[in-house]
Structure 1
Amino acid sequence: MTGLETALDTAPDAAPGLDAHLVVARDAFRLDVHLTAAPGEVVALLGPNGAGKTTALRALAGLTPLGGGHTRLAGVDLEDPGRRRYTPPERRPVGVVFQDYLLFPHLSALDNVAFGLRCQGVGRREARVAAAEWLERVGLAEHTGVKPGRLSGGQAQRVALARALATHPRLLLLDEPLAALDARTRVETRATLRRHLADFDGVAVVITHDPLDAMVLADRLTVIEAGRAVQDGTPAEVARHPRTDYVARLVGLNLYRGTASPGGVELAAGQRLVVAELPDAAEVFVAFPPSAVTLYRSRPDGSPRNLWQVEVDGMELHGDTVRVELTGPVPLLADVTPLAVAELELAPGRPVWAAVKATEARAYPA
């Protein structure tokens, strides 16, 4: 047992699974993100391309040294530039499943899984026995002698997962684990991966840009944009209360920020949104789904309390409905049926009236 393993095994039970402050500067980009997770917790680091997700993964793995901050696992410092502490990747109790899996093409599935154990000094026979057990766990007992080139995408992903788990890591990192799979395989593999993550007693961090992968796989989401964390919470909390336009688009909501006033919210552009209930806060977000937006060819009778004349900017098929992008005093997304598209004669540049009931708009503190 190494000194690091001894330190991890003797760390106080109250120590957090993962406590990281990742600071990395690269050219004009700077990552500055706090990331915490308890043992047994799956955290998804969600964000658009270029947000810094892969940089964060490489920093946690020790592949990219920190410029500041720290990485602690079970209360033990793996890295702390301020104290000149740095644990190289091969000495960290970290397993990584890379986006392209990075299986050794000349090795069988069995020897790919055994590789990490052999690097830890485990004997060849013992490593192969353990590897066979892990392949059985992931449903690949009949594929021990198969090389990566003859495996399907889902099978290769499971081999990479078994290789990462076989070394009994305290931290498991998965970089876009389902991105290389086709749509059908992705559904099956996502469910399988979720079951394996549920059985993992260490900390798991999933790096993804796909909101569905994040919502299904993770217990908690940390959303990053431009190298900064912009939101953290359970999938349900993030979906109900988005705090940026990026998150709102991911979960399919219209989102606005403004100042609460009696009966409504004053938006920055001078428009007003009437809502049924207001929180006890001065600055608030207001959100509602595109399905809550009703479109009319002419100004409707009764004058709904939230009513604007807008213009169709674009349309695209969205499941069984058509998502209409609208520009005007309050930019909107609206979901309508294909029949409504025909009846309203919707087309780019077409002026329409948009209405939202006050009871459909949800306000929460900014």
Structure 2
Amino acid sequence: MTLRARLLVTRPGFELDLTLEVAPGEVVALLGPNGAGKTTALRALAGLTAMTGGQITLDGLPMHTLAAERRPIGMVFQDYLLFPHLSALDNIAFGPRCQGVSKAEARRAAAALLERVGLAGHAAAKPRRLSGGQAQRVALARALAVRPRLLLMDEPLAALDAHTRLEIRSQLRRHLGDFDGATVLVTHDPLDAMVLADRLIVIENGTVVQEGTPGEVARRPRTDYVARLVGLNLYRGQADGAQVKVGKLLFNTSEHLTGPVFVAFPPAAVALYRSRPDGSPRNVWQAGIEGIERHGDNVRVHLDGPLTAFADITPAAVADLDLTPGQHVWASVKATETHAYPA
């Protein structure tokens, strides 16, 4: 592993306890709700937040004993923090100059990085003349200019509008693919994490609650936060074969398991009816409508009752069923769309 770390940070009302390993060339994304400890972890790696315990090794060498400016890291901040009085070229050359590289050599390296990120024609531009996407690429080039072994990125796409974010996300994935060190990325956006990262680590209340590839985490969420993140309804239950008891309800599932399990299904799999449905094997329950809101091209219905659930249906279905908050409906999910896995 390029990076091995045990990060312990304690402050009033909060404790971070995170073990982190990142291989050469691997991108790991830290996900979690506000206050989970993601940015604290990133700042501890950078030496910007003091640890109360633990250790950090990079390429087998201890890093936690070094001051922030002596750690072989590059960092991209959420707001980029480019020097406003320097050109794009000189922003990138700043790090190598601080490392003792000559001005001419630092500027040559900066020019090469500007070309690499597609901004060779903007070398003389000051940050205020750059678009959000251009500033993000300059910030990345500046972080890479110091030849780091660890690249830290704090919400690198958060300041971009939706259209620019789409374009820069794909470019950033390509640039990260060319970096042979370890990369740790903090993001609130599940799409950023799924596209950019090789592995996800989900943190809640300062501890790891789930870890795996984007596909593994998306298919098998283990907390309500992760379920909301990947767009699934999630429940804990007790399995006996193909049936799982969730509260007072009995669910038929695609899997045959025994013991504590999670049950998950997407909101799009939930069908709503004014009267109890008949037909193929279904999981059926009566629910109250707590709220109705637009959700992309569909409508998301918030259901309350024996289960709290989301149902995604078409605007036409809302009109046909004449749905309004406070009504009671029947909800159903086919057994083939209800999946169980060990808790």
Corresponding residue of 1:219: 198
- Matched residue, 1:42: 27
Q: Secondary structure at the match of 1:168?
A: coil
Partner of 1:67: 52
> For 2:77 and 2:71, how far apart are their aligned partners in 1?
16
Instruction: Supply the distance in 2 between the matched residues of 1:71 and 1:347 (Cα, whole angstroms).
Output: 55
Deviation of 1:324 after TM superposition, in Å, equals: 0.9
Give the deviation of 1:303 after TM superposition. Answer: 8.1
Question: In 2, Cα distance between the equivalents of 1:144 and 1:199?
Answer: 22
What residue is the counterpart of 2:176 in the other structure? 197
Match of 2:270 in 1: 293
TM-score (norm 1): 0.92
What are the equivalent positions in structure 2 for 1:249-260 lying under 5 Å apart?
249-260=228-239
Do the aligned partners of 2:95 and 2:142 also contact (CA within 8 Å) in 1?
yes
Shift of 1:302: 4.1
User: Are residues 1:26 and 2:29 paired?
Assistant: no
Tell me, in whole angstroms, the C-alpha distance in 2 between the residues paired with 1:102 and 1:43: 23
Determine if contact 1:257/1:286 at 8 Å carries over to the other structure.
Answer: yes
Query: Which of 317, 320, 326 in structure 1 is aligned with 2:297?
Result: 320
* Contact 1:304-1:355 within 8 A present in 2 as well: no
8 Å contact 1:278–1:364 — kept in the other structure?
A: no
- Matched-pair contact (CA < 8 Å) for 1:42–1:218: yes
- Corresponding position: 1:183 with 2:132: no
Q: Which residue of 1 aligns with 2:330?
A: 353
| Distance in 2 of aligned mates of 1:328 and 1:342 | 22
Residue 236 (structure 1) aligned with residue 215 (structure 2): yes
Deviations 1:182-212 (A, max 9, x none): 1111111111111100110000111001101
1:278 to 256, 261, 282: 256
State the Cα distance separating 1:130 from its structure 2 match. 0.6
For residue 304 of structure 1, report the CA deviation from its aligned partner: 4.6
Once residues 41 and 57 of structure 2 are traced to their aligned partners in structure 1, the CA distance between those partners, rounded to angstroms, is 14
Q: Distance in 2 between matches of 1:276 and 1:158?
A: 46
Alignment match of 1:109 (pick from 67, 88, 94):
88
Aligned partner letter, 1:323? R
Question: 1: CA distance between counterparts of 2:222 and 2:81?
Answer: 36
More moved, 49-58 vs 303-312 = 303-312
- C-alpha separation in 1, matches of 2:4 and 2:163: 36
* Aligned equivalent of 2:187, options 195, 208, 215: 208
TM-score, normalised by the number of residues in structure 2: 0.98
Cα deviation, residue 270, structure 1: 2.9
| Separation in structure 1 between the aligned mates of residue 226 and residue 177 of structure 2, nearest angstrom | 25
Task: Pick from 116, 120, 130 the counterpart of residue 137 of structure 1.
Answer: 116
- Distance (whole Å) between structure 2 residues aligned to residue 195 and residue 302 of structure 1: 49
Aligned mate of 1:308, from 278, 282, 285: 285
Q: Give the drift of 1:278.
A: 2.3
Tell me by how many angstroms 1:223 deviates: 0.6
Say which is worse superposed, 287-296 or 256-265, in terms of deviation: 256-265
Inter-partner Cα distance in structure 1 for 2:28 and 2:224: 21
Q: Percent identity?
A: 68
The CA deviation at 1:236 is 0.4
Aligned counterpart for 2:150 among listed residues 146, 171, 186: 171
SS of the residue aligned with 2:256?
A: coil
Mark the runs of 5 or more structure 2 residues left unpaired by the alignment: none
Q: Distance in 2 between matches of 1:166 and 1:276?
A: 51
Superposed CA deviations along residues 332-363 of structure 1, whole A, max 9, x for unmatched, are 11110000001111111110000111111111
2:141 corresponding residue in structure 1: 162
**Equivalent residue for 2:62?**
77
Aligned residue in 2 for 1:54: 39
Name the count of aligned residue pairs: 343
Letter in 2 for 1:312: I
Q: Secondary structure at the match of 1:178?
A: coil
1:78-93 matches, within 5 Å, as 78-79=63-64, 86-93=65-72
Which structure 1 residue ranges, 5 or more long, are not aligned?
1-15, 80-85
Kept after mapping to 1: 8 A contact 2:154/2:185: yes
**SS class of match (1:135):** helix
